[in-house]
Structure 1
Amino acid sequence: MNGTNGTDARVVATLDGASMRRLTTGQVILDGIDWSVRSGEHWALLGPNGAGKTSILRLIGATAFPTTGTVEVLGHRLGRVDVRELRAHIGHVSTSQRVPRDLTGHTVVLTGHSGTVQPLWKTYDSEVRDRARELLAELQIKDLADREYGVCSGGQRARILIARALMANPSLLLLDEPFNALDLPSREDLIDTMRRLADNRPGLATVTVTHHLEELSPAISHALLLKEGRVLARGAVEDVLTADRMTACFGRPIEVTRHAGRWLARSGGLA
């Protein structure tokens, strides 16, 4: 099931008039963002560099606060909740995450239980260790359990980090450019992983920041287009990822096609 559109879907994150400005310069980063994510929805977050994509992830990941407006995550409003406890229920995957290269794949996943970079061995009982191995198997990388993270490929590392993020059994999984610098086979493996994850966890909501439509899995149900810190379009993926809207978002003619659930965008030439 790709996305949940029924009225019984639980809201997991809501931005209501949320804006962000740089304290030092007053520069507007986000301007009056209204947006909600519900359980079972899988969002693609797209826009030019500097549009505010990562800033939105920081808000719904409870690692930043809006300058004005409100942000609610998992039923709690930022500013009225201990964000450290809230973050424990949000999965976050980024290729910029600092992971010790000498840890094994299994150990990296274990650190998702303690939310630490280095392992806290006393906190990992047999049940926790078994769960880490189950997640590696679910993501079809159980053969990486004893392999050092530093010698894994980019695609393997991305899947290890997703398994790590799932250790807390999150309701919301945020992926910040997880396909960065992946070759074609690794990209396709990760796309297939995201599709299976959506099938196996129908209540999980995901938000994926990417620059390329080709990186979107068939599980993506919704899309948000950002331009200069404002929402250009949001909603069902087939309504948002149109040639007209992509052209308006990126400032040059763009052709958009879809085949077997996969997307392709290419420039139609100079305006």
Structure 2
Amino acid sequence: MPKPVFAQPDPAGPAIGLTGVTVHVRRVPLIEDVDWRVEYGQHWVVLGRNGAGKTTMMSVAAAQRFPSAGTAVVLGRRMGRVDLRDLRTHIGLVSPKQRLPDEENHIAHTVVLTGHSGSVLPLWERYDQPLRDRATKLLELVGCAELADRPVRVCSQGERARVRLARALLADPLLLILDEPFAGLDMPSREDLLEALHTLARAQPELATVTVTHHLEEIPATTTHALLLRKGKVLTACPAERTVTSEQLSTCFERALDVHRINGRWTAHARV
């Protein structure tokens, strides 16, 4: 195999392109024969039961893990032929599980600044005034301007979630992956984060986003497409109005469900 080379994203290619992708551990498949294509400007949601393979699939899509078989293209570049570290600088990741700077000792503005290099410690010598100004504007974009000088340790979980979003956007990514970003949030905090995602979709129309969640109420109204994953295999991947339906979700979750959409938002309950 040729040595991976430095490469910038190719805007002519897909944001994510998986063809026949399989990942197995000790011969046990975690995902199998996955085909999935995400274009720039699309907003996807990924749904599936616990253990369906969502985290594994996202690790490939985020250029953090090579597939065991198949072809994976991220930001227009085929994995295995380019240095993945280059691609990762153009991918934003938001997850309550990710390691962030010591929130006990830093204000929100500082936490956002560390998104420049993805470090867990501030690298002050790299933060020029334009970058500091961008961090301020991103906090405004996600509705957290008043938190800039507030220690993150006194911020609510919902406020921290929006600070994580601003941090992921600092490097001006082409692809944003939100892995269960609503975990642990109460309803007002969930709605605040959803509003931040709505604002982001309007402000950056070329950005591709993928949101992984378990609950239909957490699907942003700006969602254009949906992928259902069942037992490591793609059940369907197409426009959301054809995917997030009672029939499709009942098959995916192996439970009879009634799905409704009101004012662009989805909800579901078990069929009586």
Taking structure 2 as the reference length, the TM-score comes to 0.93
Cα shift at 1:79? 1.1
Contact 2:73 2:79 in 1 (8 A): yes
Cα shift at 1:92? 0.4
**Equivalence for 2:36:** 35
Cα shift at 1:17? 0.4
**Equivalence for 2:145:** 142
State the secondary structure of the residue aligned to 2:184.
coil
The equivalences for 1:1-271 within 5 A come to 11-22=14-25, 25-99=26-100, 100-101=102-103, 102-269=105-272
Contact 2:141 2:196 in 1 (8 A): no
Structure 2, unmatched stretches of 5+, are 1-10
The residue type paired with residue 94 of structure 2 is V
**Equivalence for 1:4:** none
Name the CA distance, whole Å, in 2 between partners of 1:9 and 1:235: 21
Cα shift at 1:239? 0.1
- Percent identical pairs in the alignment equals 49
Could you say what the CA RMSD is over the residues aligned between the two structures, in angstroms?
1.2
Contact 2:142 2:197 in 1 (8 A): no
Cα shift at 1:10? 5.6
Cα shift at 1:9? 8.3
**Equivalence for 2:8:** none
Cα shift at 1:231? 0.4
Name the CA distance, whole Å, in 2 between partners of 1:111 and 1:122: 12
The residue type paired with residue 114 of structure 1 is S
Taking structure 1 as the reference length, the TM-score comes to 0.94
Cα shift at 1:38? 0.4
Name the CA distance, whole Å, in 2 between partners of 1:191 and 1:135: 15
Name the CA distance, whole Å, in 2 between partners of 1:115 and 1:141: 20
Deviations 1:79-112 (A, max 9, x none): 1111111100000000011221121100010000
Name the CA distance, whole Å, in 2 between partners of 1:201 and 1:262: 21
Deviations 1:215-271 (A, max 9, x none): 1111011000000000001100010011111110111100000000000011114xx
Deviations 1:146-190 (A, max 9, x none): 111122111111111111111111110000000001001001111
Contact 2:227 2:234 in 1 (8 A): yes
State the secondary structure of the residue aligned to 1:97.
coil
Contact 2:108 2:152 in 1 (8 A): yes
Contact 1:9 1:39 in 2 (8 A): no
The residue type paired with residue 39 of structure 2 is R
